[in-house]
Amino acid sequence: MSQPRFGRMIPAMVTPFDENRELDLNKAQALAARLVDGGSDSLIINGTTGESPTVFYPQKMELFRAVVEAVGDRVPVIANVGDNCTADTVNFARDVAELGVDGFMCVVPYYNKPPQEGMYQHFRTIADAVELPIILYNIPGRCVVNMEAETTLRLAHDCGNVVAVKEASGKMDQIKAIVDGAPDDFAVYSGDDAATFDIMKLGGTGVISTIGNVSPARMKEIVDLCAAGDWEAAAAANERLMPLMTGLFETSNPILVKEALKLWVSPWAACACRSWTPPPSSPSAWPRSCARWACSTRKRSAETVRARRAMRRSARTVSTKKDRSIARSDA
């Protein structure tokens, strides 16, 4: 398989906030750098996992600018500009393009419940108004409506800058139809970490990943093995990471993935003697105990317990010498 425009493993990066619930741009830049160091091919900024509904346009601009400044010379930075208002999306995308991002992600209009022709006209209008490449985002669980394969394929063939879709419908027959009917250079990304292996077996490109925030190198390993056609090794790598994929989705995303990162971050944040340090890429590299945790008086919430349990289950699957080598390379 040839290398896609945006690569195969693209974390949908979480958005860090400070204790006042304001954007923490320094942590955002540090996290972006860590994800690239872990092998990420591109970054999606302020998508679903990045809590886009809670970040207003001026703050989104600050976030995009900060990430482009931190890693824009290393990997493509893709800005989520999608909205349920076509005109707002067009105007915002034009403003964001001036920041130096490399592409856009646009979601199916939520709440409005448009028919298939309405979806087509929404995305066609956006595509005609901008030059940067666009990733469509189909997530019926959050948007209520599903963009059918025929609509995705119309856009893929009619709009030269509609270059990919993030498919989170869970409909494997629909995803297969898109893979089979799309232009050769059109990328089909899994929008669900746990479905990545199955979608790539159908001919999909890779994943726009939540788990990539926590363990980018191990998620990257899975998609690279799939792309190489080494399905036995890919299945084994997928099985090793599955406890984390399922465990961090026991409640609404991004609650547990942010808690997983916070489990490493909090002791440093709570201790005035240390600056924030991003966590290692692999759960197996996380300490079971650490003296510095004595600095933190944060009460363990139910989310903390769930996130820690998921990380430990995933860490226990790293049992062979080869696996430990992979884990060390993540750190």
Number of H helices, E strands in the chain: 13, 8
Tell me the one-letter amino acid at 216: P
The Cα–Cα gap between 97 and 78 comes to: 10
- In Å, how far from its chain's centre is CA 292? 30
The Cα–Cα gap between 281 and 232 comes to: 23
Q: Of 27, 60, 120, 137, which is the active-site residue?
A: 137
List the Cα angle 217/230/218 in 5-degree steps.
10
Active site residue 171: no
The Cα–Cα gap between 10 and 40 comes to: 6
Q: Which two tokens stand for residue 9?
A: 């493993």
Active site residue 110: no
The Cα–Cα gap between 313 and 325 comes to: 18
Q: Of 27, 166, 220, 258, which is the active-site residue?
A: 166
As beta bridge partners, residue 80 has 105
Which residues are tagged catalytic?
137, 166
